[in-house]
Amino acid sequence: MMRITETVKQLIIINILFFVGSYLVGPPTQDLLALHSFQSDKFQVWQLFTHMFMHGGIMHILFNMFALFSFGGLLENMWGAKKFIFFYVSCGVGAALLHLGISYLEMQNMLHQISYLNLSPDLIHKIINIPVLENGRVFVDAFNNEVPGLLGGVKDVGQPELHILFDAALNNQLPMVGASGAIYGILVAFAFIVPNAELMLLFLPIPIKAKYFVPGLLAIDLFLGLKGQAIFGGGDGIAHFAHLGGALIGFIMMWYWNKNQFNNNRWN
């Protein structure tokens, strides 16, 4: 029977405490600890770290913690606690940064479509930070009530322009939570270390070697991430580029450590 390692156990406990605490305290924890857009009034630097201990639902945390238990122990046994924690947190932060970068580019692409309105950066900032997701208000109602007043005398603002500003505001106000970015980094490291280990998806019980399974999983995330961007259509509510960001940092770190024959003793 697989035994849980000490650091993995502590990470799981911390995630569970954050999960339970966020439900007991309520929405304020999302404002403080979930990852918000750089352009959001709610963004704080610590969210680059705290977001990876927050989760959006019971299935979200169950899947992530099961993966951490399944794959993290091997890495901790090989590397030790300090190196494992460094890797885990680095992948989580990398996931956050790529997610923020892609979200920013997506928003700029939206706003470029209405550049002819010549809205000032300050006015755009105010519009995309209207608290449309609070108190159960319908987004469109809040948008129609508050945005026209901010636009003032700007001409040529019709429904198409308001719809684009609506999408930009929604993009700006959806927070990101979850340990998935760090977990994807762990999956990449696992595939590096034991490439021929056979893995299976719960809904596809066919054994696949890790060296094929993990790249295949990343390819699916890349496809779904691109498909979910505004230029392709509606999103699915999953931060696919955060997954890819964690995997990318994990790959870079494993490549660097393997290339330079990383000295484990420096972590003792």
Kindly give, in sequence order, each residue whose CB lies less than 8 Å from that of residue 126, ignoring residues fewer than 6 positions away.
150
What digits encode the pLDDT tens for the residues 219-244? Answer: 988 888 777 643 333 445 678 888 99
Query: How many other CB atoms sit within 10 Å of the CB of residue 95?
Result: 34
The domains found in the chain, sorted by start residue, are 6-102+177-267 (1.20.1540.10)
pLDDT score recorded for residue 120? 85
CB-based burial, 232-247: b 16+ in 10 Å, e otherwise: eeebeebbbbbbbbbb
pLDDT score recorded for residue 158? 73
171: confidence class by pLDDT, cuts 50, 70, 90: confident
Kindly give, in sequence order, each residue whose CB lies less than 8 Å from that of residue 66, ignoring residues fewer than 6 positions away.
none
Higher pLDDT, 84 or 202: 84
pLDDT score recorded for residue 205? 73
Q: Could you give phi then psi for residue 74, rounded to 5 degrees?
A: -60, -45
Locate all alpha helices (DSSP H) within the chain, ordered by sequence: 6-25, 28-33, 47-50, 58-79, 81-112, 121-128, 139-151, 159-173, 180-193, 210-228, 240-259
What digits encode the pLDDT tens for the residues 59-78? Answer: 999 999 999 999 999 999 99
Q: What is the mean pLDDT of the chain?
A: 84
Residue 136, phi-psi category: left (phi > 0), alpha (psi -120 to 50), beta (remainder): left
For the residues 39-62, what does the mean pLDDT come to?
93
Which structure tokens are listed for 165? 């500003």
Higher pLDDT, 135 or 148: 148
Can you tell me which residue has the tokens 């630097």? Answer: 45
Which structure tokens are listed for 245? 């960001």
Q: At what angle do helices 6-25 and 81-112 cross, to 10 degrees?
A: 40
